[in-house]
Structure 1
Amino acid sequence: MPVRLLVLMIWNYLDPVCNFFRRLEWIGGDSRQDCVFRVRLTTYKGRELFLQDGSVIKKNDCLVKIHLHNIRILKEVRRIKSPLQRARAIYRMVEKSMPLLADYISNHPQKDSIKGIIGITMLDKGVTQLGFEKAYPKSRLYKMFKVLTQFPIFLLASTSLSLRHIRSQKTVYLVMAKEKMVSKYHAALEELQEVSAVSANAEQ
């Protein structure tokens, strides 16, 4: 049995346990099978982040921390050999999930307190097209810890590896202000809902 397939099988069993201890919520409601995000509220503890739209993320601000459902994504793309096609497939899954994240934030009981969304990753290709901005952690200890926890995901997601490729990877924050998130994706969610309603009426 290939090593990657064995790791995926083990990870599939461990994932619900890890999800429980990290207190993650899988968003999307009835559409959650189409969503690759799991989230939780967090209190930001890093340095101030000045975003391009004029928003400022400060220490102790309330943020929605996003986690990709990595095991599901890796299952979907494991048969894709081309690095470019694999990257495009992951991008489409994340893009499709963004309106559901916008809806989650818009309807959250603490929506007035939420300042934005934040995630951390080693896989950051195409994120600016989705509306994210990049920021880099300053703490060496934190970066080392995140590299250790993110590295298995990076290895499984990569189609080819080299020492140069590994050394070039950096841990990066992905950040977006709430207002930008909602304005960019909420309209897309409303459009999807309208299409669903039309399809349901057509079937009746």
Structure 2
Amino acid sequence: MRLLWWIFYFLTVYAFIPGFVSRVFGFRVFRKGLAKREIALTFDDGPDPVYTPKLLDALKRYDAKATFFVVGAHAEQNPELIRRMHEEGHAIGIHNYVHRSNWIMSPWTVKRHVLRTSQIIESITGKQPQYYRPPWGIVNIFDFAQLRSLNIVLWTKMFGDWKKKVGADNLYRKMRESFFPGQVFLLHDRGDTFGADEEAPAHTIAAVERILEDGRELGLQFVAIDELIALSDSNRAARLESKRAVRGKGGSSDVQENAKKAGAGSSVKAGPFKQVVVWAWMQWERLFHVMFRLHPVGDGSFMHYRIIKYGGPDLVLRDQSRIQRGDLVAEMHFDNEAMYRIGMQSKSALQIALRLIRETKVALPDISRQLEVIHREKNVKAIFGISMVNRGAEGLGFDTFPLQPGLFSKMTNWYLKLLMSIIHPDGKAKVKRQREKLEPRMILMSREMLNLWQDPEAAEAALKEAQQSKKPSPAAAARQSELLMDGAGEPLIQ
């Protein structure tokens, strides 16, 4: 019995804890990028003489780059495919010499696998590989130290594509649902490893071709992992510098100047207690995003959304689109961290509103394309939200409506005012000063209006023409009033 306990202790330290901290906390590994348009497709277990050439052909047709984590023995047998990967601009990483878990190999055996595979790749391409993915993403405690010269790369999404029963259609649907910037997709271009099906890569290639087409429609770029890592490092540094400038703690002269122009430092500085409250609130927001499966709009730095069934009163929008209870809508959520930064840089509620309008205007084309491509099978009728900062929304094509009297309205009013007091450094005083102006309202935009924003110039022209045209007929206005009265007292969202 004592021996079993010692074995358990050894495995815990050698394998379980390193695997846990790398997967959950991202210790010494790269899992997800911070990008505006870029996604990384990664392929394990190859190269395969049948499927890898077909995959490379598909990537070439769409001018897409990918990353191949190759098994050394397979690379040794197919040097022409390794050479082609390199010549066509793809990144090549190490996936051990044979596909065997690091948990069941000694540290020196793992190191020997990695060195041998590295030498094979370098002998073919003339370039030493910089990236490593352990089979099944499993590391042992010695990997962090002895593989220090390599970047360990995991993934954000895997789809079980090593099994042919998943099928091309189902695989494509799963990939499309996770189709957002910064993602690292785990896929396979060979099917003869333990637990895999030899025919499975055919389904993977079929699904990838459809995803490449969707990426073109969305304006996304498929990049190798080295480019995604470099972009992520640059974007994180820029974001950190921006935060430091907003807080008055440094940053480059350009960032500080932009912050001053935006009004940074003109508001009351948040004290230590307020900073702790803001930090706790941001942690809750991250948990909220996970619990309710919010999707990012674009890179997710300003807005997120989820598809829900509308639960409010029937409404008629400016273009006569009708929104009824049970219709699918995209419920929009401002990113509270972005709201806090905007609040720190603003002198007044008007400045906050202007910044939000500008950011929303930039986000609308992304929202439209994502609904059209990622959620094409869902009949989303409108985008929808509730906001206390809603001045100027009509100028973008939104319709705004008061919340219906009732418990939901009172709770929403209280919640949004609490949120305002948290995200703005002078929030509590602002709520007291402008209590009558801070009215939460429903904002909606029909899908037809939203689609116009795929061409911003056309959308602005249509809105300008609508403003110059006649007002809605009295009959339409009366019908809208009737619909609002019919829904009085009903909860807005179920």
Interval containing the TM-score (normalised by the shorter chain):
0.7 to 0.9
- Structure 1 residue runs of 4 or more that deviate by more than 4 Å after TM superposition: none
1:105–1:111 CA contact under 8 A, matched in 2: no
Asked if 1:62 is matched to 2:62, the reply is: no
Relative to structure 1, the CA distance from residue 21 to residue 74 in structure 2 (aligned partners, 3 Å threshold; closer, same or farther) is same
Read off the aligned partner of 2:297 and give its amino acid letter: I
Report how far residue 169 of structure 1 moved.
2.5
Asked if 1:134 is matched to 2:404, the reply is: no
Report how far residue 177 of structure 1 moved.
0.6
Report how far residue 68 of structure 1 moved.
0.7
TM-score normalised by the chain length of structure 2 = 0.35
Q: CA separation in 2, counterparts of 1:67 and 1:41?
A: 11
2:431–2:438 CA contact under 8 A, matched in 1: no
Read off the aligned partner of 1:175 and give its amino acid letter: L
Asked if 1:80 is matched to 2:346, the reply is: yes
Q: CA separation in 2, counterparts of 1:44 and 1:149?
A: 20
Residue by residue, what CA displacement relative to the aligned partner does 1:156-175 show, whole Å, maximum 9, x if unpaired? 34665263511442221001
Which residue does the alignment assign to 2:279? 9
Relative to structure 1, the CA distance from residue 82 to residue 170 in structure 2 (aligned partners, 3 Å threshold; closer, same or farther) is closer
Match of 1:165 among 406, 409, 434: 434
Tell me, what secondary structure is at the counterpart of 1:161?
helix
2:402–2:440 CA contact under 8 A, matched in 1: yes
Read off the aligned partner of 1:166 and give its amino acid letter: R
More strand by share: 1
Report how far residue 83 of structure 1 moved.
4.3
What is the Cα-based RMSD across aligned positions, in Å? 2.3
Tell me, what secondary structure is at the counterpart of 2:389?
coil
Q: CA separation in 2, counterparts of 1:89 and 1:171?
A: 18
Asked if 1:176 is matched to 2:442, the reply is: no
Tell me, what secondary structure is at the counterpart of 1:17?
helix
Report how far residue 144 of structure 1 moved.
0.9
The percent identity for this pair of structures is 20
1:123–1:154 CA contact under 8 A, matched in 2: no
5+ long unaligned stretches in structure 2: 1-269, 458-494
Residue by residue, what CA displacement relative to the aligned partner does 1:95-149 show, whole Å, maximum 9, x if unpaired? 2111111111121334551111110111111111111101122241110121122
Which structure is richer in relative contact order (CA contacts within 8 A, separation 6 or more)? 1
Count of residues paired in the alignment: 184
2:297–2:363 CA contact under 8 A, matched in 1: no
Asked if 1:92 is matched to 2:361, the reply is: no
Tell me, what secondary structure is at the counterpart of 2:435?
helix
2:303–2:335 CA contact under 8 A, matched in 1: yes
Report how far residue 38 of structure 1 moved.
0.6
Which residue does the alignment assign to 1:151? 417
Which residue does the alignment assign to 1:21? 291
Relative to structure 1, the CA distance from residue 170 to residue 85 in structure 2 (aligned partners, 3 Å threshold; closer, same or farther) is closer
Deviates more, 1:131-140 or 1:42-51: 131-140
Relative to structure 1, the CA distance from residue 173 to residue 14 in structure 2 (aligned partners, 3 Å threshold; closer, same or farther) is same
Tell me, what secondary structure is at the counterpart of 2:318?
coil
Q: CA separation in 2, counterparts of 1:129 and 1:110?
A: 27
TM-score normalised by the chain length of structure 1 = 0.79
